[in-house]
Chains A and B, each alone.
Chain A
Amino acid sequence: GAGVSQSPSNKVTEKGKDVELRCDPISGHTALYWYRQRLGQGLEFLIYFQGNSAPDKSGLPSDRFSAERTGESVSTLTIQRTQQEDSAVYLCASSLQGTGRGETQYFGPGTRLLVL
Chain B
Amino acid sequence: AQSVSQHNHHVILSEAASLELGCNYSYGGTVNLFWYVQYPGQHLQLLLKYFSGDPLVKGIKGFEAEFIKSKFSFNLRKPSVQWSDTAEYFCAVSSNTGKLIFGQGTTLQVKP
Q: Is A104 an interface residue (CB 8 A)?
A: yes
Q: From B104, which residue of chain A is reached at the shortest CB distance?
A: A42
Chain B interface residue bracket vs A: 20 to 34
Contact with B99, one of A4, A56, A108 (Cβ below 8 angstroms): A56
Given known contacts A100-B32, A101-B32, A101-B51, is B102 in contact with A42 (CB within 8 Å)?
yes
Contact with B94, one of A50, A91, A100, A107 (Cβ below 8 angstroms): A100
Chain A interface residue bracket vs B: 20 to 34
Assembly CA distance A18 to B100 (angstroms): 27
Q: From A100, which residue of chain B is reached at the shortest CB distance?
A: B96
Q: Mark A85-116, 1 if CB is under 8 A from B, else 0.
A: 00000010101001111111101111000000
- Among B51, B95, B99, the most chain A Cβ lie within 10 Å of the Cβ of B99
Q: Please give the residue numbers on chain A whose beta carbons come within 8 Å of chain B beta carbons, in ascending order.
A: 3-4, 31, 33, 35, 41-45, 48, 50, 56, 59, 91, 93, 95, 98-105, 107-110
